[in-house]
Chains A and B, each alone.
Chain A
């Protein structure tokens, strides 16, 4: 069975600092990987996804993530945090075979951006 671990339920950074949100997965085959963002009392919005090909994936709002098979990781980064980045971020994984119902979410990391 697949699983996703997000290290750190809360991360705090200063405005302009690097954002690094960690995600590790366990899967017997290289999976599809996703990052979602959720603002308070709203639904989830897809930030970026990795399926195949280039391992460095760029998403919306200046975020990017790198798939590292050897480390089973898919960490999310942004060079310079903005106040508007304050939200909760979810990493998710699904197998390359099988149905969409197998999308598994991590427990989320809440990002705080300090002025």
Chain B
């Protein structure tokens, strides 16, 4: 079954700690994305990558970091520099050329206290 997996589903951390969210896809997509979702704000793009070992900042990259060492994997680290990290995080993937629809994982809800 092809798709995107995100783990864990729920994550709790203390303020000041870095935390890494996992995203894996077996759709053979070149492009992968991280979004942050807050109530009433829609989806905001954090980072995206269109090829291994390359990634670009999105609209709200401050306080986040990513890596893309394998085509299938695009982990997101929420650093202690992120002032308001509690949110729902969504990973997505797509082909690079074409109608550009994105396929989404189930999300990770991060709570930082």
Looking at the complex, which of B35-43, B69-77, B79-87 is the stretch in contact with chain A? B35-43
CA distance in complex: A1, B74 (Å):
27
A42, A102, A103 — most chain B CB neighbours (10 Å): A103
Asked if B104 lies at the interface with its beta carbon under 8 angstroms from chain A, I say yes
| Interface range, B side | 20 to 34
A94 at the binding interface (Cβ < 8 Å): yes
Whether B102 contacts A103 by the Cβ 8 Å rule is yes
- Closest residue on chain B to residue A6 by CB atoms: B42
- Does the CB pair A42–B107 fall under 8 Å? yes
A114 beta carbon closer than 8 Å to chain B: no
With A43-B104, A44-B104 as known contacts, state yes or no: A107 contacts B41, CB within 8 Å. yes
How many pairs of residues, A versus B, come closer than 8 Å at their CB atoms?
62
- Does any Cβ of B come within 8 Å of A80's Cβ? no
> Which residue on chain B has the smallest CB distance to residue A108?
B42
A41 in contact with B103 (CB, 8 Å): no
B1 within 8 A of A: no
Do A100 and B106 touch (CB < 8 A)?
no
Query: Is A42 within 8 A of B40, CB to CB?
Result: no
Q: A42-B107, A101-B56 are in contact. Are A94 and B40 (CB under 8 A)?
A: no
- Contact string against B for A residues 71-103, beta-carbon threshold 8 Å, 1 for contact and 0 otherwise: 000000000000000000010001000011111
A41 and B90 alpha carbons, distance in the complex (Å):
10
- Inter-chain contacts of A107 with B (CB < 8 A): 40-42
Contact of A43 (CB < 8 Å), options: B50, B99, B107 = B107
Residue of A whose beta carbon sits closest to that of B44: A105
Chain A's nearest CB lies how many Å from the CB of B109?
7
CA distance A32 to B98 in the complex (A): 10
What residues of chain A have their CB less than 8 Å away from a CB belonging to chain B?
9, 32, 34, 36, 41-46, 49, 51, 90, 94, 99-103, 105-108
Given contacts A32-B99, A43-B92, A107-B41, 7 further A-B contacts (CB under 8 A): A41-B109, A100-B33, A100-B95, A100-B96, A101-B56, A102-B100, A106-B42
Q: Across chains A and B, which 3 residue pairs bring their CB atoms closest together, nearest first? A: A43-B104, A107-B42, A44-B104
